[in-house]
């Protein structure tokens, strides 16, 4: 069986001159449950509906260098199944890898560029960590 590359959208990130007030606006007018990173949208996985996955929506300051070297005001994050394997495949295919894989409690990340120079974030999530985080948030509301 071939490994999957991208399994879904992991997040949407964009820049703003006033990220805090934009987050507040989205919370007030669109009902997003905002935390310090933005808003997390849980979903159920098709292959096992008992398991939750997460999509992150975040606003960053317009001066953020996080999207560099891309000149765009946005970045898409894609969920992947096996980041180390995928990075190896992408390197063989000549895709520009911007940085090294970084690991956190909630997953592994790396950034690549598409042919137009758009920075793309690839994320191998640890959804069980995010489950626990969401439970803590729910307990504090």
Tell me which fold the domain 6-140 belongs to.
Answer: 2,3-Dihydroxybiphenyl 1,2-Dioxygenase; domain 1 (3.10.180)
Q: What is the pTM of this model?
A: 0.84
Average pLDDT for residues 104-108, to the nearest whole number? Answer: 92
39 backbone φψ class: left, alpha, beta (φ>0; ψ -120 to 50): beta
pLDDT value, residue 141: 47
Q: How many angstroms separate the first and last alpha carbons of the chain? A: 44
Reported as a single tens digit per residue, the pLDDT across 12-66 is 999 999 999 999 999 999 899 998 889 989 888 888 888 888 899 999 999 999 9
pLDDT value, residue 140: 55
State both tokens at 47.
Answer: 């292959």
Q: Could you state, in order of their start, the residue ranges of all structural domains in the chain?
A: 6-140
């Amino acid at each position: 069986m071939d490994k999957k590359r991208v399994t879904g959208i992991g997040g949407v990130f964009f820049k703003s001159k006033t990220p805090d007030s934009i987050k507040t606006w989205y919370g007030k007018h669109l009902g997003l449950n905002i935390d310090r990173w933005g808003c997390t949208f849980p979903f159920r996985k098709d292959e096992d509906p008992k398991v939750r996955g997460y999509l992150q929506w975040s606003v960053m300051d317009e001066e953020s260098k996080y999207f560099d070297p891309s000149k765009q005001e946005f970045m898409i994050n894609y969920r992947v199944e096996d980041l180390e394997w995928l990075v190896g495949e992408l390197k063989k295919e000549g895709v520009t890898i911007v940085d090294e894989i970084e690991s956190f409690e909630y997953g592994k990340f790396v950034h690549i560029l598409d042919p137009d120079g758009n920075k793309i974030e690839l994320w191998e999530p640890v959804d069980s960590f995010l489950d626990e985080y969401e439970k803590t948030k729910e307990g504090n509301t």
